[in-house]
Amino acid sequence: MLLFICNKILQTGVWPKSWTQSIFITLPKKGSLKLCQNYRTIGLISHPNKIMLKAILNRLKPEAEKIMADEQAGFRPGRSTLEHICNIRILMEKYLQYQQELHNVFMDFKKAFDRVWHEALRSTMRKYNINSNLISVIENMYNKATRAVFCNNKIRDWFRTTVGVRQGCLLSQTLFKIFLERILTDALEDHFGTVSIGGKPITNLRFADDIDGLAGNECELANLVKQVDKASSNFGMETSAEKTKIMTYSKESSKKERKINGQILECVTKFNNLGSIISDEGSKPEILSRIAQTTAALTKLKPIWNNKNMVVNSNSNSKIRLLCSLVV
């Protein structure tokens, strides 16, 4: 029966009503619970719907892979954060060695996934020649999608939205990357970067919505930020000046902030990018941080090392197995 329904959706594009509904629950965060911003919302969708979404995702991913730039490493087969971390460290060492300027701008969008404009998403998929049947199925799902908030043990009124990818939907990450690809393609169309990796000019490194813009001088940096701001606003997106940070690898730079495109952007000396601490002095802070984390973890195991009842007399000894797992 489930297979019949899924095939029918692919053929006609018509979705069961319950499969297009999302119920939102709220989870408290730190701070005063009287403030709305101190709650995190989670969207719940039906399990049969997720099976259908997985089938669509398997068809959508190969289409999306054809249009993704090499700079995008987020949630792609054979890609991870390691490549970008390695690339930025190699660039950093190269520019520091030759005493050249290298500017990083870590850009952040305000409510990125919640501001994807549905109509622009549809036109973007058509522009990239994604399978028309897939577009129709996804379009019909969003046209009928409704949401409700679960509050005080009661489901409130259902409502529709015209922006934002569905929370909890398996397609959301891929749809967002397609949408972001359109924005950055438009933004970088007339932008010429001077930074290169292996002889190939590179203007940014990105993992989903985490964007690290690269520039060889301040004018190039300002132009990059302006172009991304302009293209983003054309598609209903907005960069966050508060969360966007600039880092410069240069002995002469000592600015605490820069004004670009009418916005004040903070200059930082270190930044946690993709789980790795990057600093304007090189990799030393990251190395020290990892040594400290390792030392703290091993210190917690001190009672095991000092336990005389755990005798080293066989291959099954806990101390030996622990040593092998940590060191060998």
Supply the pLDDT for residue 4: 92
pLDDT at 311: 60
* Cα separation, 274 vs 252, whole angstroms: 27
Task: Measure the CA–CA gap between 138 and 134, rounded to whole angstroms.
Answer: 6
8 Å CB contact between 234 and 117: no
Task: Quote the tokens at residue 317.
Answer: 């000894």
Which pLDDT score, from 0 to 100, does residue 116 have? 94
The answer to whether residue 288 scores a pLDDT higher than 80 is: no
Q: Rounded to whole angstroms, how far apart are CA atoms 298 and 279?
A: 26
Please report the pLDDT score of residue 282 as a whole number.
Answer: 63
H helical segments located in 270-317: 284-300, 302-305
Cα dihedral 299, 301, 303, 308, rounded to 10, equals -120
Distance CA 116, CA 237 (A): 7
Ranges 56-60, 66-70, 189-193: which has the least confidence: 189-193
Q: How would you class 207 by CB atoms within 10 Å of its CB: exposed for 0-12, middle for 13-18, buried for 19 or more?
A: buried
Residue 161 CA: distances (Å) to CA of 137, 142, 261: 18, 9, 31
Is residue 293 situated within a structural domain? no
Average pLDDT over residues 29-39: 84
Closest to 195 (Cα-Cα) out of 217, 168, 180, 171:
217
Predicted pLDDT at 287:
67
321 located within any domain: no
Average pLDDT, the chain: 87
pLDDT of residue 320: 73
Q: How far apart are CA 24 and CA 41, in angstroms?
A: 6
Residue 276 has pLDDT above 90, yes or no: no
Is 42 part of any domain?
A: yes
Residue 113, pLDDT score: 92
Q: Which of 222, 220, 224, 229 shows the shortest CA–CA distance to 188?
A: 224
CB 223 within 8 A of CB 102: no
* pLDDT value at residue 305: 74
Report the pLDDT averaged over residues 139-155. Answer: 93
The whole-number pLDDT of residue 260 equals 78
The pLDDT value recorded for residue 192 is 87
Does residue 325 carry a pLDDT above 90?
A: no
pLDDT on residue 262: 80
pLDDT at 132: 94
Range of the domain at 93: 2-275
- Encoding tokens for residue 8? 């029918």
Residue 287 domain-assigned? no
Q: Tell me if 178 is assigned to some domain.
A: yes
Residue 55 has pLDDT above 90, yes or no: yes
Each residue of 294-324: pLDDT tens digit?
788 778 777 877 777 766 555 556 777 776 7
User: What is the C-alpha separation between 160 and 144, in angstroms, rounded?
Assistant: 8
Is the pLDDT score of 156 beyond 70? yes
User: Is 173 within 8 Å of 193 (Cβ atoms)?
Assistant: no
The predicted-structure confidence for 167-204, as pLDDT tens digits, reads as follows 889 999 999 999 999 999 999 998 888 898 888 889 99
Separation CA 150–CA 39 (nearest Å) = 13
Please report whether residue 269 resides in a domain: yes
What is residue 155's predicted lDDT score, i.e. its pLDDT?
Answer: 92
Residue 164 has what DSSP assignment?
S
In a domain, 311, yes or no: no
Residue 11, amino acid: Q
What pLDDT does residue 8 have? 92
Number of domains in the chain: 1
Residue 29's pLDDT is 86
pLDDT digits (tens, 9 = 90+) for 227-275: 999 999 999 999 988 889 999 887 665 567 788 778 889 888 888 888 8
Q: Residue range 124-147: average pLDDT?
A: 95
Query: What percentage of the chain has pLDDT greater than the value 70?
Result: 92
What amino acid occupies position 277? I
CA distance 245 to 242: 8
Asked if the structure places residue 322 within a domain, the reply is: no
Share of the chain above pLDDT 90, in %: 47
